[in-house]
Amino acid sequence: MDLSELKLETVAVDRPHETVAVATINRPDAMNAMTDAMFTELEELATAVDDDDTVRALILTGAGDKAFCAGYDLAAADTLPSLGALGMLELQERAARSIAAIRSVRVPVIAAVNGAAAGGGLAIALAADIRLAAPSAKFNCAMVRIGLHAGDLGISWMLSRLVGHARAAEVSYTGRPIDADEAERTGLVNHVVPADALLGEARALADAIAANSPGGVQLSKRALYANLEVSSFGAALELENRGQALLTRTEDMVEALTALGEHRAPHFTGR
């Protein structure tokens, strides 16, 4: 199933043009909080993007001007004790799969964080490759304040790799929020931009990515993530060598060299 066939209730999908998709978490009356249905739909979104060869970049944002995503919808929290331990584990695993699905999308993902990104909402933002934030954005993993731990949905792994262990430890143990200025200063977000320009900046960035060779961009993403986990410089070189050798055999590589010689912009097809 590609994006044109996708029918979602908690996420709205727009195509400003063929190569870029914008997915908006669409529960503004509930601060775009996550539900069981949203976990499933985020996985469906990720699968549809991967199945649609025309998509070269995905933008994630939240509806309204208050929240990107405020985490799990606490309106449903009173039903959680009735699930029992195994039921809670199943719910947690569904939520975790949705984050893993976003993080593993084959094309670059840009989070346009337009407000609060708390709990699971922070995990969604961290799962993106690039984060842009409005000045009102706040990032929060305050689970310790409600008797849980901050290592939820991959946050402990992703946050420490973005801002370093010591800073991740501080915000995880205290539960204090990170505002947009601190997020930019510490590398949690790439740029802070005015709220009314946020989506436009995200689209411009997506367009700049989409203008490049799809194969080159996708293998760049694979290499960057794989190198977070490989154990040696030699292993990283081996991974990069294989990717480069593969790309030299593509039609896009031939087109790039031809366009360079003809002093024109290349037309990449992903072949």
Q: What Cα–Cα distance (Å) separates residue 45 from each residue in 14, 152, 211, 231?
A: 12, 21, 22, 32
Asked if 146 and 51 sit in the same domain, the reply is: yes
What is the mean pLDDT of the segment spanning 116-139?
97
Cα 34 to Cα 117: distance, rounded to the nearest angstrom: 11
Asked if 24 and 60 sit in the same domain, the reply is: yes
Which has the higher per-residue pLDDT, 42 or 79? 42
Asked if 119 and 226 sit in the same domain, the reply is: no
29: pLDDT strictly greater than 70: yes
Domain coverage including residue 222 = 214-261
Asked if 79 and 206 sit in the same domain, the reply is: yes
Structure tokens at 199: 């989506």
Cα 187 to Cα 229: distance, rounded to the nearest angstrom: 19
**Structural domains counted in the chain:** 2
Instruction: Write down the pLDDT at residue 81.
Output: 65
Residue 266 lies in a domain: no
Ordered DSSP codes for 80-121: GGGGHHHHHHHHHHHHHHHHHHHHT-SS-EEEEE-SEEETHH
Cα 139–91–176 angle (5° rounding)? 20
Asked if 136 and 64 sit in the same domain, the reply is: yes
Asked if 101 and 15 sit in the same domain, the reply is: yes
How does pLDDT run across 202-215, given as a tens digit for each residue?
999 999 999 999 99
CB 57 within 8 A of CB 23: no
CATH number at residue 141: 3.90.226.10
Look up the pTM and report it: 0.90
253: pLDDT strictly greater than 90: no
Instruction: Write down the pLDDT at residue 152.
Output: 81
- Tell me if residue 121 falls in helix, strand or coil: helix
pLDDT category, 139, cuts 50, 70, 90? very high
Which has the higher per-residue pLDDT, 231 or 126? 126
How does pLDDT run across 42-66, given as a tens digit for each residue?
999 999 999 999 999 999 999 999 9
Asked if 161 and 118 sit in the same domain, the reply is: yes
Asked if 53 and 116 sit in the same domain, the reply is: yes
Instruction: Write down the pLDDT at residue 233.
Output: 67
The share of the chain scoring above pLDDT 70, in percent, equals: 95
Instruction: Write down the pLDDT at residue 248.
Output: 73
CATH number at residue 228: 1.10.12
